[in-house]
Amino acid sequence: QAKVKANVHSRTSSTTRAALSSARFDELPISDAAKHSIATVLGYETMTKCQAESIPVSLRGGDVLCKAKTGTGKTLAFLIPSCELAMRVPSSARRGNISILIISPTRELASQISTEAKQLIGSMGLSLVTVFGGTNVSKDKRAFAQGAPDILVATPGRLNDHLENMGLRTSFLFFS
């Protein structure tokens, strides 16, 4: 039997372990692609309490407000249902529009969200672009030139810059 390699990007800590529940990711009504990424890429089997309470509600289309300590799985708690709902829309209908907008207050958090999202969507057929200040805006433009990503992770300043000065609003029918 092959040994599963630990996720090098995992930020699992004692806080995460203390927040674990008995609910399992493989019991969620999500795609096989998502279950595969969660189990083999992310290396997770059981959900934290905030994930177990919020993901099922979000998958049914309900709104969730989740307040929990750092390291308790809030990122996956919103990424899993968001990506699942986006996948339910045919790619032809998603084309040309950003399906999921994640606004992060800091570059560091945007980068962490992006890393986790890339691992989750690897086999889901969704695309992702991450933009934040302090980086070359030409790189952002090249990414957008390839078409609207399904997921956009952005800091407020860089997002506003793209909306106001770089044509993002009209390119992808953003907020119309």
CA pair distance 135, 155, nearest whole angstrom = 12
The two structure tokens encoding residue 150:
């399904």
SS3 content of the chain, % helix, strand, coil (to 5): 50, 10, 40
By the 8 A CB rule, do 153 and 117 touch?
yes
pTM score: 0.84
DSSP 62: -
List the chain pLDDT tens, one digit each, 176 residues: 444 445 555 556 666 677 787 899 999 999 999 999 999 999 999 999 999 999 999 999 999 999 988 888 999 999 999 999 999 888 888 888 899 999 999 999 999 999 999 999 998 989 999 999 999 889 998 998 888 899 999 999 999 999 888 877 666 655 44
The torsion angles phi and psi of 154, rounded to 5 degrees, stand at -150, 150
CB atoms within 10 A of CB 117: 23
